Every structure is written in C-alpha cells, then in structure tokens.
Amino acid sequence: MNNSEVLQGRPAVIAKETKPAISVPEEPGKSKQRERMRTIIRGSILPVTVLLVWQIIGSTGLVTKTILPTPVEITKSFIELLVSGELYKHLQISLFRAALGFLLGGGLGLLFGVLVGLFRRFEDSLDPSIQMLRTIPHLAITPLFILWFGFGEFSKILLIAKGAFFPLYVNTFLGIRGVDSKLFDVARVLEFSRFKQITRLVLPAALPNVLLGLRLSIGVAWLGLVVAELMGSSEGVGYLILDARQFSQTSIVFVGIVIFAFVGKGSDSIVRYFEKKLLKWRDNFNG
C-alpha cells in the first residue's frame, strides 16, 4: 500500500495473478464410450417413437387387435413361446437351414467370382449364363425346386443357396475388376507369383466389395429361407408364421417377423464389425 493512498484513506487494490486453467484431455476409452452411447441413442429414437405411437393406437382401439396387436401383446406371445420351448425349436431349425444354404451358395459365389474376375476365359464361358439365372425370381423357381426335390430339407437349402450365390458372386467379380492395373505392374516388377498376386494384391484390394457382397448375401439368404419355409414346411420360423396366420394369431405372426428382423440385423452387424477390423487401412468419408 503506497503512502499517498494511506494518506487519502483509500485501500490499495492488490491484483492476484490468475493462472490459466489447464484442460485435462479426456481418456480415449471414455470418449469412445460416450460416442457409442450417442450412436445408440440416435439409432433408438425412431424405433422407440414408432413403438410408442403403435401402442397408443392399439390401446385406444383405433385398430382391432386381430389386424394390429400392440407391442405389449406381441411381447406376451414371445414370452409364452419362449417359455414353452417352441420358439427355440423353430429358430434352431431355421438357423441351421440358413447357415447351411449360405455356406453352400456364398462359398460357390465367392469361388466363381474369383475365377471369373481373374480369368477372361471363365468370364466368357460362365458369366452370361450366371447373369441370366440371376434374373429368375425366387418365387418363380420355388415350384420347380419342389417338383424336383420335394418338400424336404434339400430343396430348402438349395433355394437359400441360390439366393446367397449371386450377391457374393457379382460383388467379388466387380471388386477384382476394380483393382488398379498399375498394382499388377508393380507385382510383375517384384516378381510376384500368381498365388502372391491373388493373396497379397487382388483379394485385399477387392475386400471392400467382397464384404459388401457378404452382407447382401446374408440378407438374401434370410429371404430365401422365408420363401422356402412358407412354401412348404412343418418346422421353422416361417412355418410358425404360416401356422399362426391360419388361426388368426396375429401377435405370433409379428413375433416371427421380429425374430427374422433381429437375427438378420445381428448377422449384418457381425459382418460390419469384421469390416471395420479388416478395412482399417481405408481413409474414407464417415459422415
């Protein structure tokens, strides 16, 4: 305090030095968890809103329960089927059919896609016929499969395989043909063998298209499963839907539809997970 200020009777104002606030960086794990939670919340807004509106419409009696049962009634039917064990039995059979048909059709689609993409002679001899068969709808060929192979498991698995074949075939073919030709020139300079060209050059470059074809193939395999089980079956989720429709049990029909939706989304999410792991090297726009 200065002498002049004491004499004037005014206290001196002493300014304290303020240190700048230090911002602590957030841990990467916590930031990822928050971003994941935001993604889940954003993705849940639409379905939760639809369910709420659906429940309100059903509860007020604007639509009869036979036509549109409420989500609560559908949940009750799901629990009853789950407790009785009937749902597990049908779901197990459907999963087995879908997996076997997908492995058969998807495996052949991948093999033929690689052969046609790598060798022009295979393209000239196989691709025109395959593209012609690709345009035949499932419902058009189903009666023929039943006439040839009956109502047994073999016809159902073949129908699922037929649907799973083409998406993987087409996308594998396009992925291989989309590889930059300059990479092959580099492979020749490095004296890569044909096997090394395929494993270290062609397949990694075509992997994004192959994984896209895998996702589409799984979706079409589920579609083929529904068609196969609705056309003629005594077991499976498709049969459960058909049997419930005949007795006007609409809530059970919705249970089967929801099961197909969740299992299909689950299988697609698994492929997307591996897609993120295998394609970390890509620097793409993520929105």
Burial class (CB in 10 A: 0-12, 13-18, 19+), 113: buried
- Please state the pTM of the whole predicted model: 0.76
What element of type H or E holds 269? helix 250-278
State yes or no: pLDDT of 227 exceeds 60: yes
pLDDT digits (tens, 9 = 90+) for 109-155: 999 999 998 888 988 889 999 999 888 887 788 788 878 887 788 88
Query: What average pLDDT does the segment 258-267 reach?
Result: 88
Question: Are the CB atoms for 171 and 216 separated by under 8 Å?
Answer: yes
Question: Are the CB atoms for 241 and 253 separated by under 8 Å?
Answer: yes
* Distance separating alpha carbons of residues 158 and 76, to the nearest angstrom: 35
At 11, give phi and psi (nearest 5°).
-70, 145
Residue of 225, 222, 230 whose CA lies nearest to 246: 230
pLDDT at 112: 93
In this structure, the number of other CB atoms found within 10 A of the CB of residue 244 comes to 19
Between residues 77 and 200, which one has the greater pLDDT? 77
C-alpha distances out from residue 204 to 172, 186, 197, Å: 11, 15, 10
